[in-house]
Amino acid sequence: MKAAIVVFPGTNRERDMAAALEKAAGHNSKPDLIWHGETELKGYDLIVVPGGFSYGDYLRCGAMAGNSPILRSIKEQAERGVTVLGVCNGFQILTETGLLPGVLMRNAGLKFICKMTHIRCERRVAPFTGGMAEGQVSRVAVAHNEGNYFADEDTLNRLEGDDRVLFRYCDDRGNVSDKTNLNGSQRNIAGILNEKGNVLGMMPHPENAIDPIAGGVDGLPLFESLAKAVMERA
């Protein structure tokens, strides 16, 4: 699996992401770290936009990164069917570029949230959740100030109707309610797909749950699903 992890000034999760991909795909599949000033991303099976605080979150989270030279290539590759994963700030960047609908606003409580939470897999679908079960609950970390997903009703209904809501915030038994909605996201949305199903944006950090001594291993199935789907397609 040939993977690229895009790095912006202020990105801070690229090495965690690289470790997760290597663990899932094997240590012979070391991802490339690509600086945001590059303009080409040809030849990659997977492109990841990791978390952090790109450009210090100035102007608006992901807004400045969304205008970086590398984003044109990310959009081109996504349109060609290349798999793209955006996590946390990466999700924000993908919405800024129009690859995913909606926006990520300030958390409802107007405070930075850094804690473990639970998310429920809404659909078993390659390339992201092919190795997971529908309804599977994962315990993962969140660390964000602007994770409150917002979209108009038509967009939300379209996401629901097309089965493009891939993850929701829930409790440890998979129950979804206002109490389990830690940041105010509409309909408890934690992750969504684009229309083609090859682009996923999510706020929680699965890359921080790949080792039993550091947050558990609930994040591994997503990366294992990715690796399997990408390598089967190659």
Annotated catalytic residue 207: yes
The answer, as to whether pTM is greater than 0.75, is yes
Catalytically annotated residue among 88, 96, 146, 170:
88
| Residue 93: predicted pLDDT | 94
Which CATH number is 108's domain given? Answer: 3.40.50.880
Catalytically annotated residue among 14, 22, 96, 207:
207
Report the domain count for the chain: 1
| Residue 61: predicted pLDDT | 65
| Residue 215: predicted pLDDT | 80
| Residue 150: predicted pLDDT | 98
> What range defines the domain where residue 167 resides?
3-233
- The tokens for 216 are 């558990």
| Residue 59: predicted pLDDT | 64
Q: How far is CA 154 from CA 43, 150, 165, 186, 196, in A?
A: 36, 12, 14, 13, 18
- Phi, psi at 107, each rounded to 5°: -55, 145
Regions of the chain short of the pLDDT cut 70: 58-63, 234
Annotated catalytic residue 36: no
Annotated catalytic residue 205: yes
| Residue 60: predicted pLDDT | 65
